[in-house]
Structure 1
């Protein structure tokens, strides 16, 4: 995306102009994407309401805003480039932090919107492609934010079992939502996330309907999943998909995070734990071989994202500037 060049640059104060532009773009994000009012933005950015009003007006008049933000912050572009260089990523999308350490709901919404745009671009580039998707709160937010064009030949497939222990369907399943919005086809893995035993898993994995979805996922043009931490507050534990005892077994084997329901250690290696052995879905190695996108928002995700990057779990990252800065600090 090209950066507009029609700003009047004051030769003796380039840094002041850059700061003004940064404030303008940040205010525009909070107003148009975050749906915050001007008083809330003023409090968030430490500016007067009059100043915020002027920044938003400038964003409109200078062409920065055209329904969506078309002028990304130069600072964010630099962060994205540094992330790609430091961690050998094919691409990185960094959205502005809302100012609360990257842990607010608006930060998560910003990242979900950016991830939805990434998925929509993938569908636009390959409208007859295969898109392998995980599920969970992050991916549900991506599905909610998805605004891509119709793609009736596209196929969307789950990468892991979608049935939960307490329900016949998974409220966080996203394949149906995305397929419905695009007019494409949705494919599910008609099995639980975790089999009761390893023997049960082998039976499930051998079922024809399961094999069909797994084979399709392994051929995906793009795969996408959120990155979670290996803590009691993580989605899998909070939703009782993984028990505390099961989590402790994962942690005892070195787990620091999970991706698509698979736990990995600090070097991004998928650990030999009971949950990973009983999980129904594509393997961790499959993600390394695909065009895989990782999604993460919030300071608490830095450790798990860093570990996944070390192991090359994904080639693309969508995150916020709090996480990006934390990762760059770790990279030295």
Structure 2
């Protein structure tokens, strides 16, 4: 995989040939943009883009990684890493005028490349279905990896469809890419009654899936938000009743992970809807190695801020605009 440190502003003039070559290489290798599109985006000629790519390869800026000699110690990644004590942050650069859908596309492409480096032989990988992970799964490249198990982290059934094609399709694409064993979770996203969930969780077949979730080596998930410009699937599909939405408002909910809801400070206790949710207790993600969250879009910034404050990830892949908004919420400059 190719990586490079981010600059603090995508549109600022880059001072050297090496630095500009790094920017072009990231767009070309991580975002799969053509030289024509890169030229249009950066205001360069296509021959100039080609020369910069050649320069990057010849000078060693592009090997397995992109080495950026101009990296600032106070980059967006380092600011977020230090403030929230994360293991690693990946900031995906986006054009100034990019829509949130375009930002999500770029983040999903990057995350698909990165996921392929994280998933190793013999791993158990937990996947939470949703809009972002669904898009990521569409950009995975075949990489057979022996002994990988995939486990669905939250049920996807709703009153009109007990087994969601959305969730199963995501799981199947991961399975096809890594030649992995699939462990779906065929239960509703939300039970009508907490007692039903309590009883079902005693079944051995369900306990097997729950045990895989708890023992997962890697968790891949996003943050959902009712305010997202690109609707989170749990809010776009028929999962939540008006009463549920009112309850979320009363509880000051700002987001969810695997259909389990949390507040602006990252707390998730005492939210009645969580008692009916089939997703794992958010303690599963809290300060855990291998908890990788993928988020795109400024409209999700408040939800991401809450998740970060709650320590609900160890690694984050995110676009630059959303990072700046989160840092603004945090008072970090």
Give TM-score scaled by structure 1 length.
0.83
Counterpart in the other structure of 1:304? 303
Given the alignment of the two structures, is residue 89 of structure 1 paired with residue 86 of structure 2, yes or no?
Answer: yes
The DSSP-based 3-state class of the residue aligned with 1:282 is coil
Counterpart in the other structure of 2:315? 316
Counterpart in the other structure of 2:136? 142
Q: CA deviation at 1:267?
A: 0.4
* Alpha-carbon distance between aligned partners in 2 of 1:72 and 1:244, rounded to the nearest angstrom: 50
* Alpha-carbon distance between aligned partners in 2 of 1:240 and 1:21, rounded to the nearest angstrom: 50
The DSSP-based 3-state class of the residue aligned with 2:141 is coil
**Retained in 1: the 8 A contact 2:2–2:62?**
no
Counterpart in the other structure of 2:25? 28
Going from structure 1 to structure 2, the CA distance change for 1:2 and 1:250 (only over 3 Å counts) comes to closer
Counterpart in the other structure of 2:8? none
The DSSP-based 3-state class of the residue aligned with 1:162 is coil
Q: Aligned Cα RMSD in Å?
A: 3.0
Given the alignment of the two structures, is residue 326 of structure 1 paired with residue 325 of structure 2, yes or no?
Answer: yes
The DSSP-based 3-state class of the residue aligned with 1:312 is coil
Unaligned runs of 5+ in 2: 5-11
Alignment of 1:188-199 (within 5 A): 188-199=184-195
CA-to-aligned-CA distance 1:18-64 (integer Å, 9 cap, x gap): 45444333333334443444554344334455654544454455454
Counterpart in the other structure of 2:126? 132
Q: CA deviation at 1:166?
A: 2.8
For residue 182 of structure 2, the aligned residue among 186, 194, 200 is 186
The DSSP-based 3-state class of the residue aligned with 1:228 is coil
Counterpart in the other structure of 1:109? 105
CA-to-aligned-CA distance 1:298-317 (integer Å, 9 cap, x gap): 11121111111111111111
For residue 172 of structure 1, the aligned residue among 162, 166, 171 is 166
* Alpha-carbon distance between aligned partners in 1 of 2:86 and 2:142, rounded to the nearest angstrom: 24
Q: CA deviation at 1:122?
A: 2.6
* Alpha-carbon distance between aligned partners in 1 of 2:85 and 2:104, rounded to the nearest angstrom: 24
* Alpha-carbon distance between aligned partners in 1 of 2:91 and 2:202, rounded to the nearest angstrom: 40
For residue 207 of structure 2, the aligned residue among 206, 211, 221 is 211
Give TM-score scaled by structure 2 length.
0.83
For residue 41 of structure 1, the aligned residue among 35, 38, 43 is 38
Report which of the two has the higher share of helix. Answer: 1
**Retained in 2: the 8 A contact 1:189–1:209?**
no
Aligned residue-pair number: 318
Q: CA deviation at 1:91?
A: 1.2
